Amino acid sequence: MNSLGIDEAGRGPVIGPLVVAGVHLKKEHEPQLKDLGITDSKLLSPKKRENLEKEIKKIAINVRVIIISAKQIDNDMKNMSLNHIEMNAMAKIINQTPDAKKTIIDLPSNSKTFTQELEAKTTTKTKITAEFKADLNHTSVSAASIIAKTERDRQIRLIEKKHNIKLGSGYPSDPKTKTFLKEYIPSHDTLPDYIRQSWQTTKDLIKQKTQKALGDF
């Protein structure tokens, strides 16, 4: 039975997009991908992920990628949670893959209703299974995690190149990301679209900037 695996990269970062990917695989091709070293993308080096991305795209029935920009995340979060933003992207990928017999997703939430809400948004007859650590335990989801992570890294590098800056990974805990934000936000009146303004990290730095400005009077 063929399966559609879905995973994301970029839920937590303060910089850059959220990427949701779907990989539709034939069952008989899964051992081939395992032999190539397919596993959870977090366990692989960037170079290994890039090499595997090429192989996945050769072998898969299809690969679908949805890129949700930082600006779009900020706009959507005025009306919905991050879980629902991701859910909508997952539903779109499922609906674009009507011949997938089953769909396996890496469960992003502790919500008991996540799977039910996702099923309500789909128009296909696929059987949806949602699991924690599905990206480690299912080949199609591992492949999706690699596609999503590689594409998100690519998007970050494109932002860096376009603006001639160094962002690091975009995660709040990354020293390079911290340095960039602490230098950028205090010295600019407006923030670029690639910084998530709805994130607490950004709000805290803006608050510090405002307090410092008031203290200067």
**Angle separating helix axes 175-184 and 200-215, nearest 10 degrees:** 40
Distance CA 131, CA 110 (A): 10
User: pTM of this prediction?
Assistant: 0.94
Output the pLDDT for position 217: 47
Fold classified for 3-160: Nucleotidyltransferase; domain 5 (3.30.420)
Output the pLDDT for position 215: 57
> Reduced to 3 states, what is the DSSP secondary structure of residue 161?
helix
Distance CA 67, CA 29 (A): 26
The DSSP secondary-structure symbol of 15 reads B
Domain boundaries, the chain: 3-160, 164-211
Tens digit of pLDDT for each residue in 79-107? 999 999 999 999 999 999 999 999 999 99
Tens digit of pLDDT for each residue in 18-56? 999 999 999 999 999 999 999 999 999 999 999 999 999
Q: Calculate the dihedral angle through the C-alpha atoms of 28, 67, 17, 119, rounding to the nearest 10 degrees.
A: -70
8 Å CB contact between 104 and 129? yes
Q: Calculate the dihedral angle through the C-alpha atoms of 97, 53, 28, 37, rounding to the nearest 10 degrees.
A: -140
What is the full DSSP assignment across 53-106?
HHHHHHHSSEEEEEEE-HHHHHHHTTTS-HHHHHHHHHHHHHHT-TT-SEEEEE
Confidence of residue 213 (pLDDT cuts 50, 70, 90): low
Distance CA 21, CA 162 (A): 24
CATH 3.40.50.620 assigned to domain 164-211? The reply is: no
